[in-house]
Amino acid sequence: MIDLHTHSYFSDGSESPSAVVELAKKAGLSAIALTDHDRLDGLGEARVRASELGITLVPGCELSCVWKFSSREKEVSCHMLIYFVEMGTEPLSSELLRLQNDRDTRNERLIGKLNELGFEISLEEVSLIAKGQGIGRPHFAQALVNHGYVEGIQDAFDQILGSSGIAYIPKARLTPLDAINLANASGGIAVVAHPLILVDSVKDLIEPLKELRSFGLVGLESYYGRYTKSERQALVSLARDLDLVPSGGSDYHGSYKPDLNVGTGLGDLLVPDQVLEELAGRRVGA
Ligand code: AMP
Ligand code: ZN
Ligand code: FE
Ligand code: FE
């Protein structure tokens, strides 16, 4: 059993990379991927702990993309998981720095907007919540909760920070083609994360997935922490039909998504070990 989608406090998870690896060990996993948003700098710590505990660390990150696929008028959100990439690998590392800088600028604008709307929170306090780096909207959400402006993290997104909220400020996003090219040019592979954010049903994924596959996509996150058993089965079957690797993970974020556990997701997630071997086999030159 493995988990190929987790976040630490290097982005918007609440726990350290070591703690995430320890949870993986406790859950009996043979391998864990750390996939922080836009950054690879938690991987060193994760690798040391994984080696001490005798489990495999799969290095990775997650990139938020925006895409208008052929038959759609409207842009959709599409998250890409990149695996087998290391700190310093180019061209990915330079692009990640650009995304991190843009995120910092977005965060400053977001604080300005929130203050303008009367929410008296400061970037210093959000930064403390984030434990320093990789500040994201979940940290702003936590600050809004701490001040009693909203009941919980989800309310903060629904009312204020999410795409329909009163203070929505998007950050720079790549296209899936950019992300796939970056992954491949950096010795890695790309897998589309939680694919049901693109469309409402599994059957509507066929066309966009064929297009992504033509860009060089390797895998489809089919075993996902929040998907039902029947959604997972349908996604595995679709992945096989399209010659994509049916990958999977919990999307663990610690206290920011407290219902999701490392390895088991909502409780009955089970990502087979074999998926990791298949992904590794799709690397260029493998
Ligand atoms: P950011 O990268 O700072 O734009 O924030 C993205 C993070 O916010 C991801 O971890 C998402 O899971 C979380 N997020 C985005 N939209 C929502 C939403 N509507 N409800 C809950 N969490 C969200
Ligand atoms: Zn996240
Ligand atoms: Fe995501
Ligand atoms: Fe994620």
The full set of domain ranges for the chain reads 2-88+172-281, 98-161
- The pLDDT mean for the chain works out to 96
Closest CA to 193 of 172, 210, 217, 215: 217
Structure tokens at 35: 């996939």
Structure tokens at 250: 């919990």
Nearest atom, ligand 1, residue 64 CA:
2
Distance CA 3, CA 264 (A): 8
Closest CA to 125 of 154, 106, 105, 147: 147
- Tell how far the Cα of 135 is from the centroid of ligand 4, in angstroms: 14
Name the band, by pLDDT with cuts 50, 70 and 90, for residue 9.
very high
pLDDT value, residue 151: 96
Of the listed ligands, the closest to the CA of 193 is 3
Distance CA 195, CA 259 (A): 20
Closest CA to 60 of 40, 46, 30, 79: 40
pLDDT value, residue 133: 81
Q: What pLDDT, in 10s, does the model give residues 77-95? A: 999 999 999 999 999 999 9
Q: Label residue 56 exposed, middle or buried (CB < 10 Å: 0-12, 13-18, 19+).
A: middle
Question: Does the beta carbon of 69 lie inside 6 Å of ligand 1?
Answer: no
Distance CA 37, CA 262 (A): 17
Q: Which amino acid is at 159?
A: Q
Q: Is the pLDDT of residue 8 over 90?
A: yes
Name the band, by pLDDT with cuts 50, 70 and 90, for residue 70.
confident
Distance CA 60, CA 221 (A): 14
The neighbouring-strand residues paired with 67 are: 76
- Tell how far the Cα of 249 is from the centroid of ligand 4, in angstroms: 9
Distance CA 199, CA 205 (A): 7
The SS3 call for residue 18 is helix
Q: Is the pLDDT of residue 21 over 80?
A: yes
pLDDT value, residue 142: 96
Closest CA to 70 of 203, 174, 187, 212: 212
pLDDT value, residue 245: 98
The CATH H-level (homologous superfamily) assignment of domain 2-88+172-281 is Metal-dependent hydrolases (3.20.20.140)
pLDDT value, residue 284: 82
- Tell how far the Cα of 194 is from the centroid of ligand 3, in angstroms: 7
Lowest model confidence (mean pLDDT) among 10-19, 53-62, 239-248, 277-286:
277-286
pLDDT value, residue 285: 76
Of the listed ligands, the closest to the CA of 11 is 2
pLDDT value, residue 286: 74
Q: Is the pLDDT of residue 132 over 80?
A: no
Closest CA to 67 of 207, 164, 238: 207
Closest CA to 32 of 61, 4, 60: 4
Distance CA 260, CA 264 (A): 8
Closest CA to 88 of 40, 48, 49: 40
Distance CA 181, CA 22 (A): 33
Q: What pLDDT, in 10s, does the model give residues 236-283? A: 999 999 999 999 999 999 999 999 999 999 999 999 999 999 999 999
pLDDT value, residue 72: 81
CATH assignment of 98-161, given 3.40.250.10, 1.25.40.10, 3.40.50.300, 1.10.150.650? 1.10.150.650
